[in-house]
Amino acid sequence: MTYVDGFVLAVPTVRKEEFRKHAADAAPIFRELGATRVAECWGDDVPDGEITDFKGAVNAEAGETVVFSWIEYPSKEVRDAATAKMMEDPRMEAMGEQMPFDGKRVIMGGFAALLDEQTGGTMGYADGFVVPVPAGNKEAYRAMAAKAAPIFQQYGATRVVEAWGDDVQDGKVTDFKRAVKAQGGETVVFSWVEWPSKQARDSGWEKVMADERMKPDPDSMPFDGKRMFWGGFAPLVDA
Protein backbone atom coordinates (compact mmCIF):
# COMPACT_ATOMS: atom_id res chain seq x y z
CA MET A 1 0.00 0.00 0.00
CA THR A 2 1.03 3.62 -0.49
CA TYR A 3 3.81 4.98 1.71
CA VAL A 4 3.88 8.71 2.36
CA ASP A 5 6.60 11.15 3.34
CA GLY A 6 4.71 14.05 4.93
CA PHE A 7 6.04 17.57 5.42
CA VAL A 8 4.94 20.83 7.00
CA LEU A 9 7.05 23.96 6.56
CA ALA A 10 6.91 27.74 6.82
CA VAL A 11 7.77 29.81 3.73
CA PRO A 12 8.10 33.61 3.56
CA THR A 13 4.95 34.71 1.75
CA VAL A 14 6.89 37.00 -0.57
CA ARG A 15 8.90 33.98 -1.77
CA LYS A 16 5.85 32.01 -2.91
CA GLU A 17 6.80 31.93 -6.59
CA GLU A 18 10.42 31.11 -5.74
CA PHE A 19 9.19 28.22 -3.59
CA ARG A 20 6.86 27.00 -6.34
CA LYS A 21 9.75 26.89 -8.81
CA HIS A 22 11.99 25.17 -6.24
CA ALA A 23 9.33 22.50 -5.66
CA ALA A 24 8.59 22.10 -9.37
CA ASP A 25 12.29 21.57 -10.10
CA ALA A 26 12.60 18.96 -7.34
CA ALA A 27 9.51 16.95 -8.28
CA PRO A 28 11.00 15.24 -11.39
CA ILE A 29 13.98 14.10 -9.32
CA PHE A 30 11.70 12.48 -6.74
CA ARG A 31 9.74 10.84 -9.56
CA GLU A 32 12.96 9.59 -11.16
CA LEU A 33 13.93 7.96 -7.86
CA GLY A 34 10.63 6.14 -7.45
CA ALA A 35 7.99 8.53 -6.14
CA THR A 36 4.55 8.24 -7.74
CA ARG A 37 3.32 11.69 -6.73
CA VAL A 38 4.67 14.94 -5.29
CA ALA A 39 2.21 17.50 -3.91
CA GLU A 40 3.00 20.92 -2.48
CA CYS A 41 0.04 22.88 -1.09
CA TRP A 42 0.06 26.54 -0.03
CA GLY A 43 -1.74 27.61 3.15
CA ASP A 44 -5.06 29.30 2.38
CA ASP A 45 -7.38 28.68 5.35
CA VAL A 46 -5.08 27.86 8.27
CA PRO A 47 -6.74 28.79 11.57
CA ASP A 48 -5.12 29.42 14.92
CA GLY A 49 -5.80 26.69 17.46
CA GLU A 50 -6.17 26.84 21.22
CA ILE A 51 -3.63 24.09 21.93
CA THR A 52 -2.03 23.13 18.60
CA ASP A 53 -2.10 24.39 15.02
CA PHE A 54 -0.11 24.35 11.79
CA LYS A 55 1.59 27.67 12.50
CA GLY A 56 2.82 26.58 15.90
CA ALA A 57 3.97 23.25 14.47
CA VAL A 58 6.69 25.01 12.44
CA ASN A 59 7.14 28.10 14.64
CA ALA A 60 5.80 30.24 11.80
CA GLU A 61 6.87 33.87 11.98
CA ALA A 62 5.07 37.01 10.83
CA GLY A 63 4.99 37.15 7.05
CA GLU A 64 5.29 33.37 6.60
CA THR A 65 2.77 30.96 5.09
CA VAL A 66 2.44 27.30 6.05
CA VAL A 67 2.95 24.68 3.34
CA PHE A 68 1.48 21.17 3.65
CA SER A 69 3.11 18.67 1.32
CA TRP A 70 3.65 14.99 0.71
CA ILE A 71 5.50 12.54 -1.50
CA GLU A 72 3.87 9.20 -2.32
CA TYR A 73 5.74 5.95 -2.96
CA PRO A 74 4.42 2.49 -3.87
CA SER A 75 6.05 1.00 -0.74
CA LYS A 76 8.33 1.77 2.18
CA GLU A 77 11.12 -0.18 0.47
CA VAL A 78 10.97 2.09 -2.58
CA ARG A 79 10.89 5.15 -0.32
CA ASP A 80 13.92 3.99 1.68
CA ALA A 81 15.89 3.29 -1.50
CA ALA A 82 14.95 6.69 -2.91
CA THR A 83 15.99 8.44 0.30
CA ALA A 84 19.40 6.77 0.19
CA LYS A 85 19.90 7.85 -3.42
CA MET A 86 18.83 11.43 -2.64
CA MET A 87 21.53 11.72 -0.01
CA GLU A 88 24.12 11.13 -2.73
CA ASP A 89 22.48 13.05 -5.57
CA PRO A 90 24.40 16.26 -6.39
CA ARG A 91 21.20 17.85 -7.75
CA MET A 92 19.50 17.51 -4.38
CA GLU A 93 22.57 18.81 -2.60
CA ALA A 94 22.60 21.91 -4.80
CA MET A 95 18.90 22.53 -4.22
CA GLY A 96 19.41 22.09 -0.50
CA GLU A 97 21.86 24.97 -0.52
CA GLN A 98 19.29 27.32 -2.10
CA MET A 99 16.10 26.58 -0.18
CA PRO A 100 13.65 29.54 -0.04
CA PHE A 101 12.64 28.63 3.52
CA ASP A 102 14.17 27.74 6.88
CA GLY A 103 14.94 24.03 6.65
CA LYS A 104 15.59 23.80 10.40
CA ARG A 105 11.88 24.32 11.10
CA VAL A 106 10.54 21.79 8.61
CA ILE A 107 8.71 18.85 10.20
CA MET A 108 8.79 15.57 8.30
CA GLY A 109 8.12 11.89 8.73
CA GLY A 110 7.26 8.62 7.03
CA PHE A 111 3.69 7.30 7.18
CA ALA A 112 2.07 4.05 6.08
CA ALA A 113 -1.38 4.44 4.52
CA LEU A 114 -4.20 3.13 6.72
CA LEU A 115 -6.90 4.17 4.29
CA ASP A 116 -6.84 5.50 0.74
CA GLU A 117 -10.26 6.02 -0.82
CA GLN A 118 -10.41 7.84 -4.14
CA THR A 119 -12.83 8.52 -6.95
CA GLY A 120 -10.34 10.23 -9.26
CA GLY A 121 -10.09 13.73 -10.67
CA THR A 122 -7.72 16.67 -10.38
CA MET A 123 -6.99 18.08 -6.93
CA GLY A 124 -8.08 21.70 -6.75
CA TYR A 125 -7.94 22.04 -2.98
CA ALA A 126 -6.86 19.95 0.02
CA ASP A 127 -7.65 19.81 3.71
CA GLY A 128 -4.67 18.66 5.75
CA PHE A 129 -4.80 17.11 9.23
CA VAL A 130 -2.25 16.04 11.85
CA VAL A 131 -3.61 13.88 14.67
CA PRO A 132 -2.18 12.20 17.81
CA VAL A 133 -3.63 8.69 18.27
CA PRO A 134 -2.83 6.14 21.01
CA ALA A 135 -1.10 3.19 19.38
CA GLY A 136 -3.62 0.84 20.97
CA ASN A 137 -6.44 2.65 19.18
CA LYS A 138 -5.09 2.04 15.68
CA GLU A 139 -7.93 -0.25 14.58
CA ALA A 140 -10.56 1.95 16.20
CA TYR A 141 -9.13 4.93 14.34
CA ARG A 142 -9.09 2.98 11.07
CA ALA A 143 -12.75 2.03 11.57
CA MET A 144 -13.72 5.63 12.29
CA ALA A 145 -11.86 6.84 9.18
CA ALA A 146 -13.46 4.12 7.04
CA LYS A 147 -16.90 5.26 8.19
CA ALA A 148 -16.17 8.95 7.50
CA ALA A 149 -14.46 8.62 4.09
CA PRO A 150 -17.56 7.72 2.03
CA ILE A 151 -19.48 10.57 3.64
CA PHE A 152 -16.82 13.04 2.52
CA GLN A 153 -16.95 11.51 -0.94
CA GLN A 154 -20.75 11.69 -1.00
CA TYR A 155 -20.42 15.45 -0.53
CA GLY A 156 -17.77 16.03 -3.18
CA ALA A 157 -14.35 14.90 -1.92
CA THR A 158 -12.34 13.01 -4.52
CA ARG A 159 -9.83 11.32 -2.20
CA VAL A 160 -9.39 10.64 1.52
CA VAL A 161 -6.04 9.43 2.85
CA GLU A 162 -5.15 8.46 6.43
CA ALA A 163 -1.51 7.55 7.03
CA TRP A 164 -0.15 6.06 10.26
CA GLY A 165 3.18 7.25 11.69
CA ASP A 166 5.93 4.76 10.88
CA ASP A 167 9.20 6.72 10.70
CA VAL A 168 8.51 9.87 12.70
CA GLN A 169 11.74 11.03 14.28
CA ASP A 170 12.48 13.66 16.90
CA GLY A 171 13.77 16.96 15.54
CA LYS A 172 16.12 19.51 17.08
CA VAL A 173 13.77 22.49 16.66
CA THR A 174 10.40 21.12 15.47
CA ASP A 175 8.87 17.71 14.77
CA PHE A 176 5.50 16.01 14.35
CA LYS A 177 5.38 14.68 17.91
CA ARG A 178 6.00 18.09 19.41
CA ALA A 179 3.48 19.62 17.02
CA VAL A 180 0.60 17.59 18.51
CA LYS A 181 2.10 17.44 22.01
CA ALA A 182 2.22 13.65 21.67
CA GLN A 183 2.09 11.72 24.91
CA GLY A 184 3.63 8.38 25.75
CA GLY A 185 2.24 5.60 23.59
CA GLU A 186 0.77 7.94 20.97
CA THR A 187 1.43 7.81 17.22
CA VAL A 188 1.06 10.71 14.78
CA VAL A 189 -1.38 10.39 11.88
CA PHE A 190 -0.88 12.47 8.72
CA SER A 191 -4.00 12.76 6.59
CA TRP A 192 -5.66 14.78 3.89
CA VAL A 193 -8.91 15.16 1.96
CA GLU A 194 -8.82 16.23 -1.70
CA TRP A 195 -11.53 18.32 -3.36
CA PRO A 196 -11.97 19.48 -6.98
CA SER A 197 -12.03 23.15 -5.87
CA LYS A 198 -12.21 25.38 -2.81
CA GLN A 199 -15.87 26.05 -3.57
CA ALA A 200 -16.57 22.30 -3.56
CA ARG A 201 -14.68 22.00 -0.29
CA ASP A 202 -16.62 24.80 1.42
CA SER A 203 -19.93 23.39 0.23
CA GLY A 204 -18.91 19.84 1.11
CA TRP A 205 -17.86 20.70 4.63
CA GLU A 206 -21.13 22.47 5.29
CA LYS A 207 -22.98 19.26 4.38
CA VAL A 208 -20.55 17.03 6.28
CA MET A 209 -20.99 19.05 9.46
CA ALA A 210 -24.78 18.84 9.15
CA ASP A 211 -24.82 15.07 8.56
CA GLU A 212 -26.00 13.14 11.63
CA ARG A 213 -23.58 10.32 10.80
CA MET A 214 -20.66 12.68 11.48
CA LYS A 215 -21.81 13.83 14.91
CA PRO A 216 -18.92 13.00 17.29
CA ASP A 217 -19.39 10.87 20.37
CA PRO A 218 -16.90 12.20 22.95
CA ASP A 219 -16.97 8.89 24.79
CA SER A 220 -15.87 6.84 21.77
CA MET A 221 -13.37 9.13 20.04
CA PRO A 222 -10.13 7.15 19.53
CA PHE A 223 -7.96 10.28 19.87
CA ASP A 224 -7.78 13.65 21.63
CA GLY A 225 -9.49 16.04 19.22
CA LYS A 226 -8.23 19.06 21.15
CA ARG A 227 -4.67 18.34 19.98
CA MET A 228 -5.56 17.60 16.36
CA PHE A 229 -4.97 20.46 13.94
CA TRP A 230 -6.05 21.10 10.39
CA GLY A 231 -6.16 23.66 7.60
CA GLY A 232 -7.12 24.30 3.99
CA PHE A 233 -4.46 24.39 1.27
CA ALA A 234 -4.32 25.31 -2.41
CA PRO A 235 -2.06 23.13 -4.60
CA LEU A 236 1.08 24.79 -5.95
CA VAL A 237 2.68 21.68 -7.44
CA ASP A 238 0.98 18.34 -8.12
CA ALA A 239 3.26 16.08 -10.09
Q: Compute the average pLDDT of residues 163-190.
A: 96
Banded model confidence at residue 204, pLDDT cuts 50, 70, 90: very high
Strand pairing report for 229-238 and 37-45 = antiparallel
Tell me the residue length of the chain.
Answer: 239
pLDDT digits 0-9 by tens, 130-172: 999 999 999 999 999 999 999 999 999 999 999 999 999 999 9
Task: Read off the pLDDT of each residue in 40-45 and give the average, rounded to a whole number.
Answer: 98
**Per-residue model confidence (pLDDT) at position 124:** 98
Q: What is the largest CA-CA distance in the chain?
A: 54
Element holding 200 (H helix, E strand): helix 198-210
Q: Which domains are assigned to the chain?
A: 3-238 (3.30.70.100)
User: Tens digits of per-residue pLDDT, 63-119?
Assistant: 999 999 999 999 999 999 999 999 899 998 898 888 999 999 999 999 999 999 999
Q: How confident is the model at residue 121 (pLDDT cuts 50, 70, 90)?
A: confident
What's the pLDDT score for residue 64?
A: 98
Q: How confident is the model at residue 220 (pLDDT cuts 50, 70, 90)?
A: confident
Q: Tell me the C-alpha to C-alpha distance, in Å, between residue 236 and each of 11, 35, 67, 185, 203.
A: 13, 18, 9, 35, 22
Of the candidates 129, 128, 61, which has an alpha carbon nearest to the alpha carbon of residue 101? 61
Residue 218 reports pLDDT greater than 80: no
Higher pLDDT, 220 or 26: 26
Q: Do the beta carbons of residue 229 and residue 130 sit within 8 Å?
A: yes
This prediction has a pTM of 0.96
User: Would you say 24 and 141 are in contact if contact means Cβ atoms under 8 Å apart?
Assistant: no
Average pLDDT across the chain, whole number: 96
